[in-house]
Structure 1
Amino acid sequence: MDWLQVLVLSILQGLTEFLPISSSAHLILAPELTAWPDQGLAFDVALHIGSLGAVVIYFRHDLGRMLVSWWASLRGRGTDADGRLAWWVLLATVPVGVVGWACHDLIQDAMRSPLIVAAGLIGFGVLLGYADWRGRGRLSEYQLTWKQALWIGAAQALALIPGTSRSGITITAALLLGLSREGAARFSFLLSIPVIVLAGGMETLTLIRTPQAIDWSVLVIGALLSGISAYLCIHYFLAFIQRIGMQPFVAYRLLLGAWLLWIFW
């Protein structure tokens, strides 16, 4: 890998992991549209670590309260709003964990076509646009019920289809269930933590079973760039989401999907 590839892929992963435009689509398309070689599994793991670090640092205070309250609930001391939110995040992770484990090989081998990416970008982009246009919700992430959290988790499992966007489909589901834009985005970002841990864990196990030469300088730089761009993305997305809404991202998805259909059909 040259340093331009490291720079582009790292920033691309950091930005698209949390924007509703599909990180998997962009990482699949990068080698399709350039002469770059495959970046390798070790680099993918490093990028996930960077993104994970960004969301954990950004929500560190929320996560601290959630962890304390969740532990107190386990010890029979009752469950407050932070404890319930922690339980809902765990509950919403179950569907994607089950589907990801059962369908991992199918997703990796048969669903990485640019045409599938295009269909996911367009189809789920239209759904996101509808949810944002229809949504007049005012609920925060703390007002979710366990049934709503499970529905969002079931929707999250669809993100295993390239082009869907994990943040996009979870925000869509949350908006349709009555959450505000900020509440939907915050719950989506909190949900990313166990999902990235699961995905990174599976990639790490694969990496251990198939050892390869590792360029640690590339991995460290990639993780740092991914983490910095992801942190900035989260910060500015939450700062402006009430004003800009989802329509700019919907337009981007539709244009990118149409362009891919034009090139690869």
Structure 2
Amino acid sequence: MTDASFVLTTRWQARGGRTRLAVQEEVRPDHARPWLIFIHGHNVDRAYALEQWRVLRRTLHVPAQLQVGLFLWPSDLWRNRTMSKLAYPAVTERAANVGRILASYLGPRNDRVILIGHSLGALVAVNAARELLPERQPLQAFVLLGAAIAVDDMTWPGEFHRVPLAGREAVGFCPEDRVLRSVFRPGQRFARLFRRASEAVGLHGEPREARDWLARRTRVSDHSYWRSEESAALVSEVLTAPPTGRAPDSWTLRDWPVPGWDVPG
């Protein structure tokens, strides 16, 4: 029904509610195979997250060896989605916490995981990546689509300035993104009192001067990256690109992403 090889969740209920303290496997993945995990954004209930995934899955072209699935989290703080929309400052804290919970679940297998984070789901992804760094291998890759992350946080002394956070980092952005323009900056002002509000990574793909990541401008002005074939094309590009910080002549597909993968067409 979900077109997913697996479904992971920290939700207790379909709409609103608290966050589970550990990831639950609604549909269990094969732990012997590499994973690609889609993480939805802010104010998305369970049904809407599954719908986003179904649409995105139809456009994805990935190796047969790669399992594809999604991660659900309660980004809609209340059952009333209109009220949840006003809770942006609170939900950013929840996204950070959920990222740490996801990192704990991924544990030692994180170097065989690719995260796709949409909107505030990108904040979940980078929090998971940072949590996994100190004592383990970095994530295999992450793809941030319309990322609701402050540019300042991705550069020193921001909380995600450490480079790299993943073996390959990629961002899809759109300067005309109406949702980020209308929601992100006001939300930043409430969430960061007495601090300068920063632009969203998803608006300009910055900070490219500080990070060796793959940045692609898109035409997704309505923020619906799960509907865009440009998103699927960026994922395919990441699957065949060299790791961050590696020269193109210093690697082969036998080295990365996973030995024996077939390159998607």
TM bin (shorter chain)? under 0.3
Larger gyration radius, structure 1 or structure 2: 1
Higher relative contact order (CA 8 A, sep 6+): 1
Higher strand share: 2
Give the TM-score of the pair, scaled to structure 1. Answer: 0.25
Higher helix share: 1
